[in-house]
A and B are shown apart, each in its own frame.
Chain A
Amino acid sequence: MKKKLMFMAIAAAFLGMAAVVPAQQAKLSGGVVKIGILTDLSGLYSDLSGQGSLVAARMAIDDFLKQEKNPFKIELVSADHQNKGDVASNKAREWFERDGVDMIGDLVTSSTALAVMPVAKEMNRVTIVNGAASTNITGKACTDLNVHYAYDTFALAIGTGRAVVKQGGDSWFFLTADYAFGHSLEKDTSDVVTAMGGKVLGAVRHPFPGTDFSSFLLKAQASGAKVIGLANAGTDTTNSIKQAAEFGITPKQSLAGLLMFITDVHSLSLKTAGGMYLTEGFYWDFSDATRAWSKRFFDQHKRMPTMVQAGIYSSTMHYLKAVKDAGTDEAKAVVRKMKDTPVNDFFAQNGRIREDGRLLHDFYLLQVKTPAESKGPWDYYHVRQVIPAADAAIPAAKSECPLLKK
């Protein structure tokens, strides 16, 4: 199945290349716009990005060529960065220096994004981060040639924290993965919980990666907090949720996932995850526009899109339009154009790319449906609240990015 998809993607790539159209007035390096999708094709994050990201990028390129009547030639290349920073930076260098790639997209996991961004800056090329979550990408490490499109930990933590307190979950206990990422999730969320008048009763740090969370869950249970915030990710999160159900902690206390994707819910099943709160930047079943696009995506990929994959489509489209409007693929001009043009599509309404590169767009507070409420596969969420764009990003005044200080 996967093999077949990959084959189709490759075949599609060749077809795309075959559609040779002479470059018009646009000044393009190498006479072509070359997009590289650097992603996780085999590891932990391949479900939420991976092949699906390639499908989304391909769709964006095909749609753009159709809509704009083939204004210039576009090529798509892809590689697996295996979630390793050094592999990613090596590949990026090679693509920029040797293959003339103009833009690198996806970059799932922060280590790869943070490794590629300085290389792109050095070579004057564009990076569009969709997969990675760290706020450093538009903070300390920000560059003027990078766009952070789909989401970051701040948006997810803040969104969930604020909204859950509003729903009455005013006492919290954190189950935190004991490394920088977990700590920052915990800190961002507890700040907002206390600011909203809630109480943080405590936190416990668990080793990463962990398998058995029962001792930590017992502590959370003993704290008597109404909400247990899961400041971890991936299998750590799914294991915590599963074991919380096993120990009878849920549904007496409720869980809040601070970094979860629809693919995690898919793997957990609604029976275990039902009732949880989480935040995402995109849900396929939100509006007619999201449903229409997601259906097309589903037809090709046989899975509903994650926010990362939807972000890839939207950002690639936005980038290509900016290249066309700017009349060049030179990085500075293109990013300027991207920042000056609002994003309006199924993914974002009136989205705006801030100077630090962060796309400001709405997020959604979601509650996972119980098996009885779900009408079928992928019908997973109640949209409980729309979190306005302005609330979902670190305020410019608090940002560590020098680009916002001007």
Chain B
Amino acid sequence: MNTGHMRWGFIVLIGFGLLAPVAGIYPTFLMKCWCFALFACAFNLLLGYTGLLSFGHAAFLSVAAYVTGHAIRSWGFGPEWGILAGTLSAGALGYVFGSLAIRRAGIYFAMITLALAQMLYFVWLQMKFTGGEDGLQGVPRGALFGVIDLSNNTNLYYLVFVIFLAGFSLIHRVIHSPFGQVLQAIRENEPRAISLGYDVDRYKLVVFVLSAALSGLAGATKTLVFQLASLTDAHWHMSGEVVLMTLLGGLGTVFGPVVGAFVIIGLQNQLADKVGSWVQVIMGLIFVICVLIFRRGIVGELGRLLKRPL
């Protein structure tokens, strides 16, 4: 499956990841980008490869962020166990939300996930350990396996990058496995997949849980980077942003969501101070343009030019 151009893609990605901080790009910014890139890839697994539009993925990002933050800060978990706890909790939540949402398809699926995520937002707001509006602050970065000091930005950067690569490769493997082929069959034509004897709901649920857990991995890592978890992670704007990253980068492409995440985070970073509330307008415009005339996204268009799927 790993055809030549795919391998080149990986080499460029890894090379960029290793060299970017050395080249003077601000490491915290890069770490944020990798976290969101993983988040977008996890989302793409669902939308791009299975055709399920979840409009509530912020829920998984936030549950992992809060659980990781709380586990490390209040229960004294090491960073590795904190991240694991966060990822698992996101997976578990994915199971609950997924079981409900897959009962309806298409637009209803999107609305249900959105509503469930909104409900969770209110729950976070009222619960004590999340700190409500103040957020959960002051999460120590600690030392990985008790050895590698993560308060050092360089150490943390490479950890984040490795986590991203692990999640990214897993997604890549899943897509190209027989399981992934069934998912794509569901996306293309669900009734046919059913008539071929596949338990479609089961497949949908498994991929939903997987996507939720990987989104959780992204959220947990983000908590470690910023040392905080806040309601921003749970807001529906966040769910919209991940859709935008995936759409802009290229739905159903391997590298698209990564590119989308870097472009969107970079834009927000550059624009926030210059244009103020216009950021939202610009995000909306990108959305509209993508939907109307740029549905393949950046990587999708690039792949078309090169005549190869990327």
Contacts and interface: CB of A to CB of B under 8 A. Distances in A.
Interface of A: 41-43, 78-80, 82, 84-87, 89-90, 93-94, 98, 109-111, 114-115, 118, 122, 134, 136, 141, 178-181, 207-208
A78 B133 contact: no
A86 B276 contact: no
Contact of B273 (A80, A109, A110, A181): A80
B122 to A, nearest CB: 7
Contacts of B28: 90, 93-94
B273 A78 contact: yes
Interface of B: 26, 28-29, 32, 122, 125-126, 128, 131-135, 137-138, 151, 222, 226-228, 230-232, 272-273, 276-277, 279
8 contacts: A85-B137, A111-B134, A115-B135, A134-B134, A136-B134, A178-B125, A179-B132, A180-B131
Contacts of B232: 84-87
Given A180-B132, A181-B133, A181-B134, 10 more contacts: A42-B279, A89-B227, A94-B29, A98-B26, A110-B134, A111-B134, A111-B230, A115-B228, A179-B126, A180-B134
Nearest to A93: B28
A331 B157 CA distance: 28
Contacts of B230: 84-86, 111, 115
Contacts of B135: 85, 111, 114-115
Contact of B137 (A43, A93, A114, A178): A114
B282 to A, nearest CB: 12
A233 to B, nearest CB: 9
B134 A89 contact: no
A84 B32 CA distance: 14
A86 B133 contact: no
A89 B228 contact: yes
B226 A89 contact: yes
Contacts of B273: 41, 78-80
Contacts, number: 84
Contacts of B122: 207
B276 A179 contact: no
Contacts of B128: 180
A109 B122 CA distance: 19
Contacts of B277: 42-43
A61 B12 CA distance: 48
Contacts of B32: 86, 90
A179 B133 contact: yes
Given A115-B135, A115-B137, A136-B134, A82 B272 contact: yes
Contact of B276 (A42, A87, A89, A109): A42
9 A-B pairs closest in CB distance: A179-B132, A180-B132, A42-B277, A42-B276, A85-B230, A111-B135, A114-B137, A84-B232, A85-B135
Contacts of B138: 114, 118, 141
Nearest to B151: A122
A36 B232 CA distance: 23
Contacts of A43: 277
B22 to A, nearest CB: 15
Contacts of A114: 134-135, 137-138
A171 to B, nearest CB: 27
A333 B42 CA distance: 48
A34 B209 CA distance: 48
B133 A109 contact: yes
B227 A118 contact: yes
A122 B138 CA distance: 11
Given A79-B272, A82-B272, A90-B226, A180 B26 contact: no
A94 B131 CA distance: 25
B226 A180 contact: no
Contacts of B126: 178-179
A80 B132 contact: no
A98 B151 CA distance: 17
A141 B137 contact: yes
Nearest to A78: B273
B274 to A, nearest CB: 9
A208 B134 contact: no
Contacts of A42: 276-277, 279
Contacts of A84: 230, 232
A86 B272 contact: no
A94 B26 CA distance: 8
Contacts of A90: 28-29, 32, 226
A330 to B, nearest CB: 21
A134 to B, nearest CB: 6
Contacts of A98: 26
A48 to B, nearest CB: 16
Contacts of B226: 85-86, 89-90, 115
Interface centre among B28, B126, B137, B226 (most CB of A within 10 A): B137
Given A94-B28, A98-B26, A180 B276 contact: no
Interface centre among B125, B228, B276 (most CB of A within 10 A): B276
A43 B280 CA distance: 11
Nearest to B232: A84
Given A87-B272, A118-B138, A111 B26 contact: no
A41 B275 CA distance: 10
Contacts of B231: 111
Contacts of B276: 41-42, 80
A35 B276 CA distance: 20
B265 to A, nearest CB: 10
Nearest to A179: B132
A78 B273 CA distance: 8
A82 B276 CA distance: 9
Contacts of A93: 28
A134 B277 CA distance: 26
B193 to A, nearest CB: 40
A150 B273 CA distance: 25
A178 B230 CA distance: 17
Contacts of B134: 110-111, 114, 134, 136, 180-181
Given A80-B272, A80-B276, A180 B133 contact: yes
A118 B137 contact: yes
A313 B227 CA distance: 31
B116 to A, nearest CB: 17
Nearest to A41: B276
A180 B131 CA distance: 7
